[in-house]
Chain A
């Protein structure tokens, strides 16, 4: 009886296996006859393979699925590898030395491109370039197009709508509606009043802890530092520089001081506060403001906040035309195709990229599984409230602050500014050190990185 049962199960399993094999066989044969195998001028895409070195660990699973789907559809092998958080440059350096190097990789902007330009295929005639909604989203030099942005992100000051409403409704508030929080002075008034009445509002502080641990310090040494750079570039009419003047560093100080003063913890504790601390404080409703970006939507909603709780304000620093300032919107993720790969692989990679941003499966995966806003014509509408907020600001005629931190001379520079900021926040360092690290450090690092 028992034996018979086992035989039956085995037979069933075998039958299942054979059916699935037959199906796979079917899929394979149909794809080889499909018109996908178009010959581009240089290589035969159907003979090539794609090897993608992915930067975003949080999107690894989604990329693996998308790659599998593409292989099922076209029979072309797509191998996705993901570098561990914060080790992309190291992983890419090692991978580029292999005989089978990645055919598709990414750089984070002009400075990253300077590192890898010799490896970048010129994308100006590619299909994916023509799919871009604006040519501004490409990384080009002269006529050549070396990188194509695949995700547009925004950052600003995320606020908890529910608690902020409580503040607006209370009798100690001088600012009564969100539309009036439209300048640094207004923001400071709101933050100071929340801080002074923290107990009444049931919060620990106005801002979440400005953690200077390495998981969180990029919010200040990179993203916040973008603002003084942006305003200086704008004033001088330039898009990058070998020596920053630091015209707007006082504004940088003003906003950073506000983060430290109206915070959930003391300045001396910031050195080892991390991202999780800030996220937890915000999602538990212990703080009202949290400087971060659209990528934070998933963690915050997973932690229990709803769309109705979340909004994003521009980072006001008291410079420029504040009434018309929008969120900081841009990209630091640019796809590059490896020039040194063989022609078939390059052709296959270009086809794969085009498929990702034009096909139903590709755009759905990018928008829904990865939560990306992609700058391509066939993009799906995003569900992310911060992205919607950005669209709203733009529709209301506000000018987005562009991402100029991609022109920062090097990681060493960012780390130097970060260390100086940490010590300044704790009171063991002076603001002058931050200025020296910012201005003189820029010049030194730029020269070191660009010397022949």
Chain B
């Protein structure tokens, strides 16, 4: 009779440390972060409530709007490219060619290098090439954009490849056998057997690439730092390859009045990422099939 409630009590006690850590490490910073977005502050302990002021300023910031569209374009291109590359590399490496384990390791390795270092290394490579044509990453936004895309593909494709390989290996062999007996050709097998069975992997990979690309910061900072810029009529510099995270960071440290604005941009950013990521999860989940 007493056993059940007692057990519940115990479980509560055991959950407590994790729960406390969750509150301290996530819930509290999140709530205070949202609160600070409505404040003018220098350090977080002397915040002064100013209402929606920061949000108004954030939406009137030309550079922020520009960074949103730049980020959106970057996300679309990089999600498609990274997933296509990763999918086909994984496909090739599950065909049983010799040395595929070595290739897997090689493709995965870029992931282990930090973003800032990668950014500087690729900056040297790109600038080394562009120098021959008398130009530079910092001088043309197109180079900055494609540079970022190449860098991200190179870094992320290997990681996604590992997930896709696991997906390929989890497709039961009897399905392929049945398809072959039914007379399906290679293309039909891919579109009607492999891809539907791989939807969970596609879901997770597109989710990861989407959020990673949206939140990209260090590679952006190291590769272009936002350059080049266009001078607006007000004399402020509108950076052409600045993504949202970098814009928020720069806003936060711009001057003594800008911290709250940076914070409100961060909240807007959070909402955008959540909405897009959830929509994407919903759409790809719908396509998943039960085995």
B256 A441 Cβ-Cβ under 8 A? no
Closest partner residue, chain A, to B128 (CB atom): A272
CB A278 to nearest CB in B, in angstroms, measures 17
A115 interface residue (CB < 8 Å to B): yes
Q: A93-B42, A268-B136, A416-B236 are in contact. Are A411 and B229 (CB under 8 A)?
A: no
Q: Interface with A: B77-85, B106-114, B137-145, B275-283, which one?
A: B137-145
Q: Interface with B: A22-30, A48-56, A432-440, which one?
A: A432-440
A426 and B234 CA atoms in complex are apart in Å by: 23
Task: Name A441's contact: one of B43, B137, B236 (CB within 8 Å).
Answer: B236
B134 A268 Cβ-Cβ under 8 A? yes
B231 A448 Cβ-Cβ under 8 A? no
A423 interface residue (CB < 8 Å to B): yes
Q: Which A85-120 residues have a C-beta within 8 angstroms of B?
A: 89-90, 93, 96-97, 114-116, 118
A412 interface residue (CB < 8 Å to B): yes
B137 A272 Cβ-Cβ under 8 A? yes
Q: Which B226-250 residues have a C-beta within 8 angstroms of A?
A: 227-229, 231, 233-237, 239, 250
A422 interface residue (CB < 8 Å to B): yes
B101 interface residue (CB < 8 Å to A): no
CB B227 to nearest CB in A, in angstroms, measures 6
- With a cutoff of 8 Å between Cβ atoms, the chain A residues found around residue B250 in the complex are 412
Q: Which A407-435 residues have a C-beta within 8 angstroms of B?
A: 409-412, 415-416, 419-420, 422-423, 426, 428-429, 433
B188 interface residue (CB < 8 Å to A): no
- With a cutoff of 8 Å between Cβ atoms, the chain B residues found around residue A429 in the complex are 228
- With a cutoff of 8 Å between Cβ atoms, the chain B residues found around residue A422 in the complex are 138-139, 227-228
Closest partner residue, chain B, to A440 (CB atom): B235
Q: A423-B139, A423-B228 are in contact. Are A444 and B235 (CB under 8 A)?
A: yes
CB B228 to nearest CB in A, in angstroms, measures 6
B227 A419 Cβ-Cβ under 8 A? yes
Closest partner residue, chain A, to B45 (CB atom): A97
A361 interface residue (CB < 8 Å to B): no
- With a cutoff of 8 Å between Cβ atoms, the chain B residues found around residue A214 in the complex are 225
CB A268 to nearest CB in B, in angstroms, measures 5
A410 B225 Cβ-Cβ under 8 A? no
A420 B254 Cβ-Cβ under 8 A? no
Against B, the Cβ 8 Å flags (1 = close, 0 = not) of A343-383 are 00000000000000000000000000000000000000000
A442 B235 Cβ-Cβ under 8 A? yes
B254 A268 Cβ-Cβ under 8 A? no
- What bracket does the count of chain B residues touching chain A fall in? 20 to 34
A60 interface residue (CB < 8 Å to B): no
A449 B256 Cβ-Cβ under 8 A? yes
B123 interface residue (CB < 8 Å to A): yes
Task: Name B42's contact: one of A115, A272, A440, A443 (CB within 8 Å).
Answer: A115
B237 A440 Cβ-Cβ under 8 A? no
CB B19 to nearest CB in A, in angstroms, measures 25
- With a cutoff of 8 Å between Cβ atoms, the chain B residues found around residue A433 in the complex are 231
Closest partner residue, chain A, to B261 (CB atom): A448
Q: A416-B229, A419-B229, A440-B233 are in contact. Are A411 and B253 (CB under 8 A)?
A: yes
A93 and B42 CA atoms in complex are apart in Å by: 7
A266 and B132 CA atoms in complex are apart in Å by: 12
Against B, the Cβ 8 Å flags (1 = close, 0 = not) of A263-287 are 0001011011000000000000000
CB A275 to nearest CB in B, in angstroms, measures 15
- With a cutoff of 8 Å between Cβ atoms, the chain B residues found around residue A73 in the complex are none
CB B246 to nearest CB in A, in angstroms, measures 12
B100 interface residue (CB < 8 Å to A): no
CB B250 to nearest CB in A, in angstroms, measures 7
Task: Name A428's contact: one of B131, B140, B225 (CB within 8 Å).
Answer: B140
CB B82 to nearest CB in A, in angstroms, measures 27
B255 interface residue (CB < 8 Å to A): yes
- With a cutoff of 8 Å between Cβ atoms, the chain B residues found around residue A266 in the complex are 134
- With a cutoff of 8 Å between Cβ atoms, the chain A residues found around residue B135 in the complex are 268, 426
A96 B255 Cβ-Cβ under 8 A? no
A412 and B236 CA atoms in complex are apart in Å by: 8
A423 B136 Cβ-Cβ under 8 A? no
B43 A97 Cβ-Cβ under 8 A? yes
- With a cutoff of 8 Å between Cβ atoms, the chain B residues found around residue A116 in the complex are 42
B234 A440 Cβ-Cβ under 8 A? yes
A445 B134 Cβ-Cβ under 8 A? no
Q: A268-B135, A271-B136 are in contact. Are A445 and B255 (CB under 8 A)?
A: yes
A214 and B223 CA atoms in complex are apart in Å by: 12
A272 and B228 CA atoms in complex are apart in Å by: 12
B170 interface residue (CB < 8 Å to A): no
A451 interface residue (CB < 8 Å to B): yes
Q: A268-B139, A271-B137, A419-B229 are in contact. List 20 more A-B contacts (CB 8 A).
A: A90-B253, A115-B42, A212-B138, A268-B136, A269-B131, A271-B139, A272-B138, A412-B250, A416-B231, A419-B227, A423-B228, A428-B139, A428-B140, A436-B233, A437-B237, A440-B234, A441-B231, A444-B234, A445-B255, A449-B257
Closest 3 CB pairs between A and B?
A440-B235, A441-B235, A416-B237
